[in-house]
Amino acid sequence: SIPPFVHVPKPYTGISGAEIMEKRKQFLGSSLYHFYKTPVNIVEGKMQYLYDENGKRYLDAIAGIVTVSCGHCHPDVVDAIVNQTKLLQHASTVYLHHAIAEYAEAMASKMPGDLKVVYFVNSGTEANELAMLMARLYSGNLSMVGLRNAYHGGSTGAMGLTALNTWKYPIPQGEIHHVVNPDPYHGSFGSDPLPYARELQDHIHYGTAGNVAGFIAETFQGAGGAVELAPGYLKLAYEIIRKAGGVCIADEVQSGFGRTGSHYWGFETQGVVPDIVTMAKGIGNGLPLAAVVTTTEIANVLAAKIIFNTFGGNPVCSAGGHAVLKVLDREKRQEQCASVGTHLLERLRAIQQKHEIIGDVRGRGLMVGVEFVKDRVEKTPATVETGLLFEKLKDLGVLVGKGGLHGNVFRIKPPMCFTKEDADFLVDTLDYAIDTM
């Protein structure tokens, strides 16, 4: 059952998709890797739906890569942005402005423990760079430890933390180590966290000088293919890291703001409190906004020099980000992620019984992964088939994300206003697409 049309898109008067493609090829430096074979020209967005130049509607199940948390053009977020833009678009953080101060206070109120000092930056990459700097300065150590299959950004340092060769260039990235990620589906130790934690301890013993600066992990590896770390792992890992003199960084760029359904932050699903939290994407519903939150004690190490970021926490982004926090609370989106996510997982697991190609269905809340394999024993990636399904779903009006080193995982991380009817439409469409492949 397709949910009723709730929005009539405005007639499109811009240039055609083919012309845009031509201009992209000629003038834009970004890679065409993620493109559909027949790309869509998205011209309008309304909550969980996107519209192309012909007014065709798409159910957006990836939210601009886990970014549009409240929904496309959510009216309250738009109003906050427009109103602030009309008053004051930018000054500088050397002046006082109420928007950044009120927003920082609201953000701090969402954090557990002593995590009360907020730094606003512009992207997840920058947030992780700053977190790594804090860890190194605070600990007095150099070695950073991360997990295999992680994505933490694309600048030199953040790319160093990333551990997926699709995103890495061989440039000097300096004293960054990667240990085995506790992946319940692919990992040699299944979902037992202990052997993975031992591997981390061994790596510190044998692969570093013994003391580390910090450890960074996504509780739910996103670009790596929607992998939830084995339960219990972070508790063990944090203990090991703290004993080795390091601080623990949670990369919440994808998993924060209630998306897991069960908790506001992804790390809370593992019962840990990090020393530094980085966030981006869903924080601003699409605004270029990100943040690092830490304790006063760690923040003090940055007091010796000026930490200046021209755009970080500018009035418009602060007003928009603050509106996001309020909207998600008022509209009870965390609860919605929990109930819709449970329904979505149940429905996906039901069609998994029928389709051999679906090797794994995993996730929590509205952070779901569907892994396509050639055979369920060897788990050989069905990369080509995933690509065909990805394209076919788009033609049928459903947009999902792709992930994993081999590109054989569908990532379903829609705007948090996604409903049970949307989940049914997605699953019915996927079922049909596989049946008719």
Minimum Å distance from CB 3 to ligand PMP?
29
Q: Is 318 in the site for ligand PMP (CB under 6 A)?
A: no
CB of 258 to ligand PMP, least distance (A): 17
Query: 426 burial class (0-12, 13-18, 19+ CB within 10 angstroms)?
Result: buried
Residue 151 as a binder of ligand PMP (CB under 6 A): the answer is yes
Give the binding range for ligand PMP (CB under 6 A) out of 43-51, 77-85, 173-181, 246-254: 246-254
Residue from 104, 179, 223, 324 touching ligand PMP (CB under 6 A): that is: 223
Least distance from ligand PMP to the Cβ atom of residue 357, Å: 26
As a whole number of angstroms, the distance between CA 306 and CA 289 comes to 20
Q: Binding mask 275-314 vs ligand PMP (x if CB under 6 A, - otherwise)? A: -----x----------------------------------
If one counts every other C-beta atom within 10 angstroms of the C-beta of residue 129, the result is 22
Q: Which segments within 207-323 are labelled E, that is strand?
A: 214-217, 220-221, 227-228, 247-251, 276-279, 290-294
129 is a contact residue toward ligand PMP (CB under 6 A) = no
When asked if residue 63 is in the footprint of ligand PMP (CB under 6 A), the reply is no
Residue owning tokens 């600048």: 155
Query: Phi/psi at 135 (nearest 5 deg)?
Result: -60, -45
Amino acid at 47: M
Does 97 contact ligand PMP by CB under 6 A?
A: no
DSSP assignments along 32-98, one per residue: -TT--SS---EEEEEBTEEEETT--EEEESSHHHHT-SS-BT-HHHHHHHHHHHHH-S---TTS--H
List Cβ neighbours of 27 (8 Å cut-off, separation of 6 or more).
none
Binding segment for ligand PMP (CB under 6 A), chosen from 76-84, 151-159, 227-235, 311-319, is: 151-159
Could you tell me the sign of the dihedral formed by the alpha carbons of 212, 159, 200, 251, in that order?
A: positive
If one asks whether residue 74 binds ligand PMP (CB under 6 A), the answer comes out as: no
Q: Does 260 bind ligand PMP (CB under 6 A)?
A: no
Q: Count CB atoms within 10 A of the CB of residue 351.
A: 17
Q: Count Cβ atoms below 10 Å from residue 123 Cβ, excluding itself.
A: 19
Q: Which of 48, 125, 336, 429 binds ligand PMP (CB under 6 A)?
A: 125
The structure tokens listed for 253 are 């760029």
Interface stretch with ligand PMP, choices 36-44, 99-107, 198-206, 247-255 (CB under 6 A) = 247-255
Binding to ligand PMP by CB under 6 A, coded x per residue (else -) over 178-217, reads ----------------------------------------
Q: Is 62 in the site for ligand PMP (CB under 6 A)?
A: no
Contact positions vs ligand PMP (CB under 6 A): 123-125, 128, 151-153, 218, 222-223, 251, 253-254, 280
